[in-house]
Structures are given as structure tokens and as C-alpha cells.
Amino acid sequence: MAETFGIGRAIVRAMIPDLYRAGMSANKIIREARGMGISYRRQTMLADIRELTGRMTKQYFVERFDPRRIITKGIMTEVELPRAKKYYVIANALYKDLVTGEQFEKNVSFYTNEAKTFEMYEEDYVDWKEEAMYRVDLSFISFKPLCVEHNAGWDY
């Protein structure tokens, strides 16, 4: 079954490749769309940007990669990252709301200069999360890597 979406989303999806090639970041693309009066769920916009710019082309390999092995070139997408870091890790973190009992996924990402295992990246994320956004009403459950981007031209 084909995915359907509104005219606003279709317009934004048509603009994304050109805006990305012009050097616009995902946040700038979203601001540009909203400036035109077009807005839809941010997470969906980010997914559209990753899909249409080819940034999630190796997700299949990432999802099947042994989380105890240090990441390799074969699972990385080569991109020009906006920050002076070697890697950009994109993942879904699963949480449980301790008040309602509901579970939900949150798209998370971070930059790093170290090639590690996904288990080590999960530990880093948990440590950072507890320092930066500690909330007693949320319980972290799991971390599912989706994509690892390598800064083009940088060593591994």
C-alpha cells in the first residue's frame, strides 16, 4: 500500500534535495518550510530529510550489525557533517513513562570522535541523558542504532 500524505508534506519533500545540496542543515530546512507556512511533525520531517538525502542508506546493515563489535566503514554513510567530529550516531531510545505506564520511542542522536561498539554508545547515551535531561518520571529501556554517519574526508 502506498504511503499518502498532505500537499504540504509533498511540497517540502520536493524541496528537500535542492535545499540540502545548497548546504542547508535539517534544522534550516525545517525552519524554511515553517516560514512558508508548511509544518508537520518534526520527527517525520527529519525522517523525510534523512530518506531524501540518502543519509539512512545503510540502516539495514546497522540494524543487523553485532552490537559488541566496533563499528566499521561498511555500515557508515559518508556525509559532510556540520560539526568537527568524525561520527554522528542516530538511534531510537525506548522509554517507559512511570506515571502512565506507556512506552514510547524517542529519536536521539549525538556526535563523537570515537569508533566504539553500539553497546558502548548506548552506555555513553545513558550517561549523557542522566546528566542532561534526568527525569524521575521516565525509565530508559533500550537503545536501537539506526545510522552511523562518517564525516567525509576524515580518517576512521
Total residues found in the chain within this entry: 156
Which pLDDT band holds residue 1 (cuts at 50, 70, 90)?
very low
92-145, pLDDT tens digit by residue?
Answer: 999 999 999 999 988 888 999 999 999 999 999 988 876 666 677 888 899 999
Which pLDDT band holds residue 84 (cuts at 50, 70, 90)?
very high
39 shares its domain with 75: no
More confident residue, 127 or 69: 69
81 shares its domain with 135: yes
**47-82 b/e with 16+ CB inside 10 Å = b?**
ebbbebbebbebbeebeebeeeeebeeebbbeeeee
Per the structure, the count of domains in the chain is 2
| Pair 118, 65: CB distance under 8 Å | yes
7-23, pLDDT tens digit by residue?
Answer: 999 999 999 988 887 77
Residue 10's pLDDT is 92
71 shares its domain with 144: yes
83 shares its domain with 135: yes
Q: List the domain range (segments joined by +) for residue 44.
A: 7-52
Distance CA 77, CA 73 (A): 8
71 shares its domain with 141: yes
140 shares its domain with 84: yes
- Amino acid found at 54: G
Q: Is residue 73 part of a domain?
A: yes
The cell for 145 is: 542504532
16 shares its domain with 46: yes
16 shares its domain with 85: no
Q: Is residue 106 part of a domain?
A: yes
